[in-house]
Structure 1
Amino acid sequence: MSFLSGLKSLFTAGPAAPEKEEDPIDYKGFIIIPAPINEGGQHRVAATITKGEGDSQQIHKFIRSDLIAGRDECITVTINKAKMTIDQLGDRLFN
């Protein structure tokens, strides 16, 4: 590997890969499904929030800029951020 290609590899990463989705969490009538994204050994805060079922189901996917070292800690942070988003926006989350 040349010096330049080694330097380039420091600043480029492979595509982000979603990890296995966690069990759904019911919160105030919304369902939170944490889905951390593995990025270079760290985990990006991400989840899907849904409400309703069938044809009336509404879905909101969010990905935050937060990178957390541990997967379990990332899931905890994700759940807390999702709950805070629900508390702040409620049904407006889907607009």
Structure 2
Amino acid sequence: MGLFSRLFGSNQKEQSSKDIQPEEYKGFLIYQEAQAEGGQFRIAGRITKNIEGEVREHRFIRSDVLASESDANEFMLAKAKMFIDQTKGDIFT
């Protein structure tokens, strides 16, 4: 059962128990949610924005893994800001 738990989402349960504080950037909220994997951390997170009363969300997981959770979260934040800038804020259209 342990193998299936690791493959199908035990990390999600661990993440949801953490109190993740988003960072605001150009009207978007960026959630840094590095995922533990094999002693390293995969770069992952989500970007949200309230548009006309509806919260829209873009999730992403990169193939990159880093040695520390804080490094993975900082890299995710930089990538999310770059993504917002490159799309000129139109990530939900």
TM-score (norm 2): 0.76
- Structure 1 unaligned spans of 5+: 1-13
Q: Which has the larger radius of gyration?
A: 1
Could you say what secondary structure the match of 1:93 adopts? coil
Report the Cα distance in structure 1 between the residues aligned to 2:25 and 2:53, rounded to whole angstroms: 21
* Structure 1 stretch displaced more, 24-33 or 50-59: 50-59
Is 1:27 paired with 2:32? Answer: no
Say what the alpha-carbon RMSD is for the aligned residues: 1.9
Among candidates 50, 60, 63, match of residue 62 of structure 1: 60
- Letter of the aligned partner of 2:70 in structure 1? D
Alignment partner, residue 3 of structure 2: none
Q: Percent identity?
A: 38
How many residues were matched structurally?
Answer: 82
User: Structure 1: which 4+ aligned runs deviate by more than 3 Å?
Assistant: 18-21
